[in-house]
Amino acid sequence: MDSFISKPKARYRRDCLEYLQENAAKSLFDSEKRLKGKWCELVGGSGHLTLELLLSVKVLSPSGFIGVDSNKVHIATHQARYPEATWLHGNLQDVIHELEGVSVLNVDSYSSTGYRTTRELLKSLEDVARASIQRRGAFGLFLNPTLGGAKRHGLTTRQALLNLTQDVSAILTGWCPESRFTPESFWTPPSLLV
């Protein structure tokens, strides 16, 4: 079974959207609760489910969605279903220059990004993020890392998550120097650090 087609994954999709609507409502959404800018996602075989969620709650039209996948079959299948959306073949590194107008990016799988580390990935997104921050005052970024690789490298889940939050806080502080991000600011609840 595809782990991206599951009740927990569906809940994760809804939770991401609700988080944005609650915490970046004025910056990323208009008065009718429609997304300003585009939503980009690494889609895989089930990426249409995020698009369908966004359409069902009228957050965007299909033309406001960009799906990225390195699998040509996935792209062709999604394109046939939703031709008004933008479907880009390649990994994120290949298409980064085509993400004009993106205000939300959901990265579910690092293997599809083309980058070796979180730091590399985030550094490459700086122009996309800064453009959204400059235009709208915010940029939504969801990182949902696969921890299997960390375990293969001898790291505990806790250490892998600490490393991730250190990388993310360092890069985001560079993007928004007026904000001071710390690794702890990404842990909810804080007891996860223990």
Mean pLDDT of the chain: 82
Residue 113 has pLDDT above 50, yes or no: no
35 pLDDT tier (thresholds 50, 70, 90): very high
Tens-digit pLDDT profile for residues 127-153 = 898 899 889 888 888 877 666 666 677
The domain that holds 18 is classified in CATH as 3.40.50
Residue 171 has pLDDT above 50, yes or no: yes
- Give dist(CA 189, CA 91) in Å, integer: 33
Could you give the CA distance from residue 90 to residue 70 in angstroms, rounded to a whole number?
4
H-type helices in 24-143, by residue range? Answer: 25-28, 48-56, 72-81, 92-95, 118-124, 126-136
174: in domain: no
**SS3 assignment, position 1:** coil
CA distances from 87 to 43, 45, 70, 103, 194 (A): 9, 13, 11, 17, 41
How does residue 65 score in pLDDT terms, banded at 50, 70 and 90? very high
Is residue 118 a part of any domain in this protein? yes
Which residues span the domain enclosing 75?
A: 7-146
Query: Is 30 part of a structural domain of the chain?
Result: yes
pLDDT for res 190:
43
Question: Residue 86: inside a domain, yes or no?
Answer: yes
What is the pLDDT, as a whole number, of residue 145? 66
pLDDT of 77-110, one tens digit each?
A: 999 999 999 999 998 888 999 999 999 998 865 5
As beta bridge partners, residue 67 has 41, 87
**Is residue 13 a part of any domain in this protein?**
yes
Q: Would 48 be classed as within a structural domain? A: yes
Would you say residue 92 lies in a domain? yes
Percentage of the residues of the chain whose pLDDT score is greater than 90: 29
Could you tell me if 34 and 59 are in contact, meaning their C-beta atoms sit under 8 angstroms apart? yes
pLDDT over 70 percentage in the chain: 85
Instruction: Using a cut of 0.75, tell me whether the model's pTM lies above it.
Output: yes
Answer yes or no: is 175 within a domain.
no
pLDDT of the residue at 148: 63
Strand partners, 107: 143
Task: Give the pLDDT of residue 36.
Answer: 93
The number of domains in the chain is 1
| Burial group, residue 58, by CB count within 10 angstroms (0-12, 13-18, 19+) | exposed
